Structure 1
Amino acid sequence: MKISMYTVENAIKPYIIEKTLRSDAAMMIESALFLDSETELYRADCLYVCLSKHLPIPILIPDKTNIICLGKPSAYAVEAYAHINLILVSDDINLKKFFNTILGTLEKYTMWEEKLDCLLKNHASLQEFLDLGAVIFKEPMCLLDYHHNVLATTSMIDSQDDDFWTYLKKGYINNSPEIISHKQDKFNDIVDARSPVAMISSISGKYKLISAIYVDNKPIAFLAMIHSTKDKNNPFDIYVQQLFNFFVNSITQRLHQSALTSKNKQLADEKQNGAIQSNFNIPGLDLTQILKYFDFKAGKQFQIALFQFNEPQKKPDHVIEISYTIEAAIPYSKCVLSGELFIAVIDLQYHAYLPKAVAKRFIGILEKNDGYCVLSPVFHLSEELPHVLLQVSEVINFCMRLQPDTRLNHYHDYAVLHCLKALSENENMSYILHPMLRKLIDYDIKYGTDYYDTLKVYLKNNCSIAESAIIKHMHRNSFLYRIKRIKELLNNDLDDCDLRFKLLFSIYYLDCENIITNWVD
């Protein structure tokens, strides 16, 4: 990372006796050299360190040259050096040790740049970027999307006694009076500035340094850093603002990685304008647009991932993060935002199924954003898409209620339930009960036995006496005797696999009858 003379000034502040720094001193310094009487060529990206006796006369030094001088030369006039960046430090310090201090400063900022580059290379989460920012700035930071939803906040540093920060940590700021009453004017000012803006929070009284982040020349997010004190003067020194701007550029690159394609953005814009209409009873999903957008070709396999979130008004910008996770991990996969639903069509031509590593990343994002996902069956043709979408859209709310702790679900885990639900909408399901099971249930009611549940355990455990006895907490011989009595009562040895399947089907329906009855679409 290149640094500026304002960064150097902050690093050596205790030693400074006088200085003259240009207002346009930019982050250009990437090396340091000793300056002596033989130096003739000056580089703009270099910081020169010299003794007072070796400081050249002003006319010999090019504009914007960066120099640190140990001691104050005789006949020194500060205004004569106004065209360069010059810092005078005490001459009672060791030159070698002082030079090592300068090199250490350069090395520290280079290390931070390498860490940022590593995060970019590894497609790290926004949270990881902000946590590194907290190390660099030693101040709490947050990232909001353009609609003021919280994308991430620093996890290691909090803004003490700050109600505004409390809202941010909860993942939303819609209830903040500051945002309600002032957000439009303030955020418009930030967008128009095109550079970091310092402003005072009307809630906490603390300064915030905020910058808009642009992708394709459009503002999509805001990065903010909150000062830990209530300093009445702007506490963000020039070097902090320069470094913050560099950090903004890194976040911008990260969001560029995650940005939806122009076609994706077009679909999102059409959705906002009410252009996308409901098709196939799936709110907000325009299948015509989706079929145009995705490249369905013969020989390929596809899978749909349908996402839904419990509290969309509090959600972070899950679209960006999940889109990036999918599109970066799986070639030729695309994502579409439609209403409150968010879908990804995953091209499985290089995968037999969704890779476990990607599934693990899904689960982490879903847990953080209080969301759920259903993965569809694998399909091949675009003509299958409407039916597959219907399947997963009907199942997702059911998954959220039935297994709230399971974030990533597969349709095949609910396929039988879904089929039984469809059947129950057209048939009287009371007729589905096999007469043998009805006989056992009636017998249990009349004599207080437990034959139905015993048979259920027995059939579900592949007719294993040992395993079934353990589940029923019975001795093996006792369980074997009970099965013998059931076979006698039913006048059937239960050896026919087709019969066992029919019994299991009825048993499964009885297990799920209450669930299906209360299934609310």
Structure 2
Amino acid sequence: MDISMRMIADKIIQFSPKLYISKDMKPSLKKIRLWCQNHSSVDSTTVYITHVSNIVDINFFKNYINVIVIGENDILRGLIDKSSSNIIILNSCFDIEIIINKIQGIFEFYNKWENELKDSVLNGGGFQALIDCSFKIFKNPMLLFDFAFTVIAWSKERSDSFDPIWSKTVEQGYGLAEIMNDAVNRKNHEYLDTITSPIFNFNDSLSRRSIVCNIRVNNKTVIRILIAEMSTKLNETHLYMAKLLKKYIICILQRDAQLEKSYGVQSDHFFMDQLEGKQYDIKSIKHYLQYLNWKLYDKYLLLIAKANQTSITNDTLEYYSNLIKNKLLGTYNLIYEKDIIIIINLSKHYFLQKNIINFFEEFLKLNNFRGGVSSIFESFLEIHTHYIQASIAVTLGTSIESKQYMYFYKDYAMYHMIHNCSKNVNLYSLCHPAVVKLLQYDNEYDVNYFNTLYVYLIKNKSLVNSAKVLNIHRNTFVYRINKILNLTNLDVEDENEILNVLMSYKIVEYINKMEPTSENTPELSNS
């Protein structure tokens, strides 16, 4: 890694150096050498270290040189103003061997960092790996976020203690409202959005300086780096290091784009096979998951987005799928059976689950989709089962609660069981006799005892609360419930019998919603 005299000076503050360095100097130094009087040539990529006693005449600075001088004399002082060289002067009390070792350590420090960045890219690491190894360089909190202000990666070391707004941002995982609103409202927002090199910017909400750097693709900002000045004062050295970090972020974007191009079709086939329940050996599954940096026993969640329009094209679905992918980075999306399938690795995703669900629901409402949400599963081998869960949730949900947009399988698991039973038996034959009798009695005498019993049971047999739900006097409700119990001989103290009755109500509700041609049954109270 090439470094500059300014970068060296930043690391030797404890030696109280005097600096005579050009502001325009670019990082170009690759090595160090001890200067001797018999040197015949000077290398512009080398920083030389020498004692002031070796500077004996005006010819010392006849060539451009990067030099650290230990000690100071009149000849040196006279040459400084006449030279365009970059010079650092240290007190004569320092041992030259100690200084050489110190400067060598600085080169090793920066080279080690760049090697870590390279290894992260070559070994399939993501943006978070780059941020993790860069925190020791910047010693300030760092964020990567996309054009929608969704947090992609952030420095975890000590970040939560830096600032309340910063902590809230990384906890939410999206929005960045407090940090970015002031930038959006500023006159220089358009300028900030187009910059390609790191710059200093003052953020009002954080009340401090920051470094901002954009990564742009096709003239659009896709990722922005934000480094806030909280623990360590930012300077020109940090701008250069931010530029290097940007280079490796671009490498990851290019690597992943190439992998996706060459491997994407294969991956789609693999995931489709998994949704269909086709058998793969464990080694093959791990191979495909490795491409995403996923593991077999990570924690997963599966979402289905189903368009209302049956005539919607695959190209349109791809557009909506990309909208989701750009917001929920790190997911795997594919189009399958005219639905958008979103597979989320919760072990790798840095957003809270509730924030993922909140975004998904907003997407469904905004674009007139209906969505199914599986239960969380902790083995990728269970993906077929949980695809069925999400599919059943959205299929049953749209029939039972048509005004909703998102349906959780946990709310429809019982209906799923009933749905499976309906293929083999008459569902009324599974109902408790008391429920069937009340349906018949209501139909014959035009009363509503069926619903009265349901309210009574789900209100834990509370007379006051049940009467309130039905909007009748307590005494009227007591009369009705006694009539019901006498009519059905139901033992409301028997837990098994009550469970059977409540299950029967679910069966009746399923019949009412899913089989409209069946004998009409009443709606249950929304209590």
TM-score range (shorter-chain normalised) is 0.5 to 0.7
The answer to whether the 8 A contact 2:70-2:90 is kept is: yes
1:247 aligns with 2:245: yes
1:399 aligns with 2:373: yes
Distance in structure 2 (CA, Å) of the matches to 1:203 and 1:36: 54
3-state DSSP of counterpart to 2:130: helix
* Residue in 2 that maps onto 1:114: 115
The answer to whether the 8 A contact 1:127-1:152 is kept is: yes
2:349 corresponds to which of 344, 362, 365: 365
* Residue in 1 that maps onto 2:6: 6
The answer to whether the 8 A contact 2:306-2:340 is kept is: no
Distance change >3 Å, CA 443–CA 283, structure 1 → 2: closer
Distance change >3 Å, CA 250–CA 307, structure 1 → 2: closer
Amino acid at match of 1:397: G
Distance change >3 Å, CA 343–CA 188, structure 1 → 2: farther
Amino acid at match of 1:287: N
* Residue in 2 that maps onto 1:281: 308
Distance in structure 2 (CA, Å) of the matches to 1:451 and 1:205: 63
* Residue in 2 that maps onto 1:134: 135
The answer to whether the 8 A contact 2:216-2:222 is kept is: yes
The answer to whether the 8 A contact 2:173-2:351 is kept is: no
The answer to whether the 8 A contact 1:70-1:88 is kept is: yes
Distance change >3 Å, CA 88–CA 122, structure 1 → 2: same
Distance in structure 2 (CA, Å) of the matches to 1:130 and 1:61: 41
Distance in structure 2 (CA, Å) of the matches to 1:454 and 1:162: 52
Amino acid at match of 1:197: I
Distance in structure 2 (CA, Å) of the matches to 1:118 and 1:107: 16
TM-score, normalization: structure 2? 0.57
* Residue in 2 that maps onto 1:433: 426
Distance in structure 1 (CA, Å) of the matches to 2:311 and 2:246: 34
* Residue in 2 that maps onto 1:54: 54
1:256 aligns with 2:283: no
Distance in structure 2 (CA, Å) of the matches to 1:217 and 1:287: 27
Distance change >3 Å, CA 280–CA 107, structure 1 → 2: closer
Amino acid at match of 1:135: K
Identity of aligned residues (%): 14
Distance change >3 Å, CA 363–CA 168, structure 1 → 2: closer
The answer to whether the 8 A contact 1:174-1:180 is kept is: no
3-state DSSP of counterpart to 1:48: strand
Distance in structure 1 (CA, Å) of the matches to 2:2 and 2:151: 30
Equivalent positions of 1:42-191 (< 5 A) are 42-55=42-55, 59=59, 61=61, 64-76=64-76, 77-80=78-81, 82-158=83-159, 162=163, 164-169=165-170, 170-173=172-175, 175-176=177-178, 179=181, 182-183=184-185, 185-191=187-193
Distance change >3 Å, CA 80–CA 433, structure 1 → 2: same
3-state DSSP of counterpart to 2:348: helix
Distance change >3 Å, CA 105–CA 417, structure 1 → 2: closer
The answer to whether the 8 A contact 1:215-1:256 is kept is: no
Distance in structure 2 (CA, Å) of the matches to 1:138 and 1:71: 32
The answer to whether the 8 A contact 2:197-2:243 is kept is: yes
* Residue in 2 that maps onto 1:222: 224
Distance in structure 2 (CA, Å) of the matches to 1:172 and 1:421: 29
Distance change >3 Å, CA 177–CA 16, structure 1 → 2: closer
1:36 aligns with 2:36: yes
Amino acid at match of 1:412: I
Distance change >3 Å, CA 447–CA 279, structure 1 → 2: closer
The answer to whether the 8 A contact 2:173-2:350 is kept is: no
1:412 aligns with 2:388: yes
1:195 corresponds to which of 184, 188, 197: 197
Query: 1:373-421 CA deviation, whole Å, 9 max, x = no partner?
Result: xxxxxxxxxxxxxxxxxxxx99983325xx3688985323466777878
Distance change >3 Å, CA 412–CA 58, structure 1 → 2: farther
3-state DSSP of counterpart to 2:148: coil
Aligned alpha-carbon RMSD (Å): 5.1
The answer to whether the 8 A contact 2:317-2:340 is kept is: no
Distance change >3 Å, CA 319–CA 70, structure 1 → 2: same
3-state DSSP of counterpart to 1:3: coil
Query: 1:208-230 CA deviation, whole Å, 9 max, x = no partner?
Result: 1211222345322221111116x
Instruction: State the 1:9 CA deviation.
Output: 0.7
79-88 or 3-12, which deviates more: 79-88
3-state DSSP of counterpart to 2:373: helix
* Residue in 2 that maps onto 1:377: none
Distance in structure 2 (CA, Å) of the matches to 1:286 and 1:203: 44
Instruction: State the 1:513 CA deviation.
Output: 4.1
250-259 or 430-439, which deviates more: 430-439
Distance in structure 2 (CA, Å) of the matches to 1:284 and 1:62: 78
Equivalent positions of 1:225-374 (< 5 A) are 225-228=227-230, 235-258=233-256, 281=308, 286-288=313-315, 317-318=326-327, 320-322=329-331, 361=345, 363-365=347-349, 368=352, 370-371=355-356
* Residue in 1 that maps onto 2:478: none
Instruction: State the 1:103 CA deviation.
Output: 0.8
3-state DSSP of counterpart to 2:22: coil
* Residue in 2 that maps onto 1:22: 22
3-state DSSP of counterpart to 1:398: strand
Distance in structure 2 (CA, Å) of the matches to 1:167 and 1:417: 33
182-191 or 79-88, which deviates more: 182-191
Instruction: State the 1:142 CA deviation.
Output: 1.3
Amino acid at match of 1:210: V
72-81 or 218-227, which deviates more: 72-81
Amino acid at match of 1:247: L
TM-score, normalization: structure 1? 0.58
Distance in structure 2 (CA, Å) of the matches to 1:439 and 1:343: 39
Gapped runs of 5+ residues in structure 2?
262-304, 358-366, 402-417, 438-487, 515-522
Distance in structure 2 (CA, Å) of the matches to 1:308 and 1:287: 14
Amino acid at match of 2:371: N
The answer to whether the 8 A contact 2:428-2:436 is kept is: no
* Residue in 2 that maps onto 1:207: 209
3-state DSSP of counterpart to 1:254: helix
3-state DSSP of counterpart to 1:23: coil
Distance in structure 2 (CA, Å) of the matches to 1:130 and 1:515: 55
The answer to whether the 8 A contact 2:34-2:48 is kept is: yes
Instruction: State the 1:284 CA deviation.
Output: 12
Distance in structure 1 (CA, Å) of the matches to 2:148 and 2:369: 30
Amino acid at match of 1:51: H
Query: 1:114-139 CA deviation, whole Å, 9 max, x = no partner?
Result: 11112212332323322322221111
Instruction: State the 1:27 CA deviation.
Output: 1.7
